[in-house]
Amino acid sequence: MRVGDALPPLEIEVTRTLIVAGAIASRDYQDVHHDAELARQKGSPDIFMNILTTNGLVGRYITDCLGPDAVLRKVAIRLGAPNYPGDTMVLTGSVEEVAGDTATVRVVGANGIGRHVTGTVTVTLPPGGAR
Amino acid sequence: MSDESDELAMRLKAFEGRAAAVAGAGKDPVNEPMIRHWCEAMGDTNPAYAGPEAIAPPTMLQAWTMGGLSGHTGRSGAYDELLGLLDDAGYTSVVATDCEQEYVRPLRPGDEITFDAVIESVSERKTTKLGTGHFVTTRMDVRAGGELAGTHRFRILKYAPARGKPKARRPRPVVNRDNAGFWEGVGQHKLLIQRCGGCGSLRFPWLPGCGACGCLEWDTVEASGEGSVYSYVVMHHPPFPAFDPPYAVGLIELAEGVRIVSNVVGVPYDKVRIGMPVRLQFERYDEELVLPVFRAGETDGGGS
């Protein structure tokens, strides 16, 4: 793994089911993540994905790409354009830094309206490098 | 900043460094079912999260501290007070913007979770796309069996939603002596076509005299409602306030032979086709405006 390497993109279909399942699995019962009518009353066009789900998907993306022996050390994300139902988010990553067995990967999740998430993930790689 | 008092700014600043949660306890110990539900939702098939040696996905860190439907435990008075102060100042909406987690050691089923959190910062008033408000950053130490397992920095924006402009209303029809009968018909959910009293030709839109014979006498026939798309355009630009482009505008040929311009509904704008059968329906747009539009029939429409 070298600086500048790109990870294969991961497409996530942002379904209503994913948004609700992610919110409940993360124990986030804010109405804007499951109740479209209340979300609209709060000025949002629809329900939208919660940050914990985005965080979980970013973590999954990294270990999907680098293998189950890769250990997440740090995940830092910032949200931009919301993930609404019916959209597709494409996660892409590029290696920003490699120091010994530790790599820092820059991750971007783009959806139909912009960048949903930008962030960096620091990950320790198994001996012998990523699979 | 003129309409926000310095006093509020100072009161908000004073929360920095105060505890947001003290001796909070996870409602459930780290456990396999919650891990599995998380992995199912995320589509995460990492084998490290299953089996006898399973660890929890590190990104679940915050999930173990969530209050769920029964509310948070250990949340400090200061944090609730800060949120209440922001609510009272009109910043009633909340959205999470940043999450920064460091994982010190893996969490495993059976680990009992405790946590403390501090209000790290409260920003100046900021205006964002969502609206105007203040960012509140908290930092939480998450412990398992009393030992530091990870840190979680979380930023929310407490904001007053930007006032969306009220949805513009569709333009009103211009009703005059020559077409009043047509609009009266629409009001009764009837699409009336003029019929010449001289030569019997049907005509639409409404006119004072017959284009074929010049006769000024006329009566009306009610359209059956059946028709087909004679031609159409798709409007992309420019957007008009009451409309949401892209949308299809059809020239509909009624079964009676006359043509009318209206919206084609019930089918995506890019699936409208010449010859497509449509049926009249009356659509209410607001408390005073009803318009005849045409719904594409229950054809299988390409089935892509």
Residues of chain B in contact with residue A53, where contact means CB-CB under 8 angstroms, are: 41-42
Relative to beta strand B290-296, strand B259-265 is: parallel
Measured between CA atoms, the residue of chain B closest to residue A25 is B38
Residue (of B247, B61, B230, B94) closest to B161 by Cα position: B94
Stronger pLDDT, B163 or A103, i.e. the higher one: A103
Please report which confidence band the pLDDT of residue B238 belongs to, taking 50, 70 and 90 as the band edges: confident
Q: Residue A131 domain-assigned?
A: no
Contact at 8 Å (CB) between B120 and B138? yes
For chain A, what is the domain count? 1
What is d(CA A30, CA A16) in angstroms, rounded to the nearest whole number? 15
Q: Residue A104 domain-assigned?
A: yes
Query: What does the block give as tokens for A57?
Result: 């998907």
Query: What does the block give as tokens for A80?
Result: 């931009």
B254-304 per-position pLDDT tens digit = 999 999 999 998 888 999 999 999 999 998 888 889 999 999 975 444 333
Residue (of B206, B177, B186) closest to B194 by Cα position: B206
Count of C-beta atoms within a 10 Å radius of residue B82: 24
Element housing B70 (H / E): none
Residues of chain A in contact with residue B106, where contact means CB-CB under 8 angstroms, are: 71
Range of the domain at A37: 6-124
Delimit the CATH 3.10.129.10 region(s) of chain B: 6-161
As a whole number, mean pLDDT of residues A88-102 equals 96
Residue (of A91, A51, A127, A21) closest to B62 by Cα position: A51
Query: CATH number of the domain at B180-296, out of 2.40.50, 3.30.1370, 2.40.10, 3.30.70?
Result: 2.40.50
- Residue B166: predicted pLDDT: 60
CATH 3.10.129.10 fits B6-161, yes or no: yes
Query: What does the block give as tokens for B77?
Result: 């008075």
Q: Residue A40 domain-assigned?
A: yes
Q: Residue A71 domain-assigned?
A: yes
Return the amino acid letter for B280: L
B139 vs A: CB within 8 A:
no
Where are the strands (E) in B162-285, listed by range? Answer: 192-196, 202-203, 218-222, 226-235, 247-254, 259-265, 277-284
- Residue B163: predicted pLDDT: 67
Q: Residue A27 domain-assigned?
A: yes
Measured between CA atoms, the residue of chain B closest to residue A48 is B95
CATH at residue A39:
3.10.129.10
Q: ipTM score of the complex?
A: 0.96
B105-138 per-position pLDDT tens digit = 999 999 999 999 999 999 999 988 788 999 999 9
Q: Measured at the alpha carbon of residue B130, what is the angle toward residues B126 and B135, in degrees to the nearest 5?
A: 40
Look at the alpha carbons of B96, B63, A113, B161 in this order and tell me if their dihedral is positive or negative. Answer: negative
Delimit the CATH 2.40.50 region(s) of chain B: 180-296
B61-82 per-position pLDDT tens digit = 999 999 999 887 667 789 999 9
Q: Does the pLDDT at position A94 exceed 60? A: yes
- Mind telling me how many Å the CA of B111 is from chain A's nearest CA? 17
